[in-house]
Amino acid sequence: MELPLELVNALRLAQRVTVLTGAGVSQESGLRTFRDAQDGLWAQYRPEDLATPQAFQRNPKLVWDWYAWRREKVCQAKPNPAHYALAAMAKRIPKFTLITQNVDGLHQAAGSPRVIELHGNIRRVRCSVCAQVLSQWDQPPDDVPRCPSCNGLLRPDVVWFGETLPQAELEAAFEAAQHCELFFSIGTSGVVQPAASLAYFAQQHGARIVEINAEPTPLTPFADFALQGKAGEILPALVKSAFLAQIT
């Protein structure tokens, strides 16, 4: 793919860059995006019907088992060249902020130093009663694990539909969107708020918008540069062109 020279130059000279990623960035690591059809056992459920507080109240075991299955896939997945390219960008741009809607932790696994996780992380759990966060827990053979402090049911430490996003992360994300020269929206369908509004907010504050996505999204007509294709191919090429760095 021919990369716009204007974008390559803008990236090379940029002092402040903010990036928002979505499930498309992990697609080349073998993880399904949210709006892909789900496979196997879970094909009969829609994520929107499992990822809610109401679903957990109704049937905690069903929701726990779905997340346990997804956690297993996440733990087997490896970062792909898109994750590595973003980690490389972080080293070369003075003020670089990476915001993700993904809960898989693959940006950190690729070496990205600081990641704003808007929707939490599936590798952690927290108590549904006292909110204690844990990264290790005892799994009973056929039940939902319980909190060691208060015996409440443990749940994944992720944001469910209808829940508010963590305040500090949200504020940091809008702050970084407000003060950047280039804002990248990568592998996200841009339909879930408030993450979807970050790009428009950045644009209103003077940033140029770069979208990298396999297909057009509602953001595409507003983007200054819309690159259609795979993030794992476009991002390494862009980093190589801008910084003469090879991404493996």
Q: Rounded distance, CA 170 to CA 27, Å? A: 24
CB of 35 to ligand OAD, least distance (A): 4
Binding test (CB under 6 A) with ligand OAD, winner from 85, 99, 154, 159: 159
Residue 217 binds to ligand OAD (criterion: CB under 6 A): yes
Known active-site residue 83: no
Binding test (CB under 6 A) with ligand OAD, winner from 18, 187, 202, 239: 187
Binding test (CB under 6 A) with ligand OAD, winner from 50, 231, 239, 242: 231
Comparison of 97 and 217: residue with beta carbon closer to ligand OAD: 217
Cross-strand partners of 117: 100
CB of 150 to ligand OAD, least distance (A): 25
Q: Which value, to the nearest 10 degrees, does the dihedral of the CA atoms of residues 131, 133, 139, 142 take?
A: 30
Piece in contact with ligand OAD (CB under 6 A), picked from 52-60, 142-150, 224-232, 239-247:
224-232
Q: Rounded distance, CA 2 to CA 60, Å? A: 49
Q: Rounded distance, CA 212 to CA 41, Å? A: 32
- 211 neighbors 220 (Cβ within 8 angstroms): yes
H or E element: which one contains 187? Answer: none
Residues 82-111, mask of contacts with ligand OAD (x by CB under 6 A): -------------------x----------
Sign of the dihedral defined by the CA atoms of residues 47, 53, 55, 60, in that order: positive
Q: Rounded distance, CA 19 to CA 209, Å? A: 10
Residue 2 binds to ligand OAD (criterion: CB under 6 A): no
Residue 70 binds to ligand OAD (criterion: CB under 6 A): no
Task: Please pick, among 83, 107, 119, 205, the residue that the annotation labels catalytic.
Answer: 119
- 26 neighbors 102 (Cβ within 8 angstroms): yes
Residue 34 binds to ligand OAD (criterion: CB under 6 A): yes
Geometric angle at alpha carbon 49, from 76 and 201, rounded to 5°: 80
Summarize as ranges the residues that interact with ligand OAD (CB under 6 A): 22-24, 27-28, 33-35, 51, 101, 119, 159, 187-189, 192, 212-215, 217, 230-232
Enumerate the active-site residues: 119
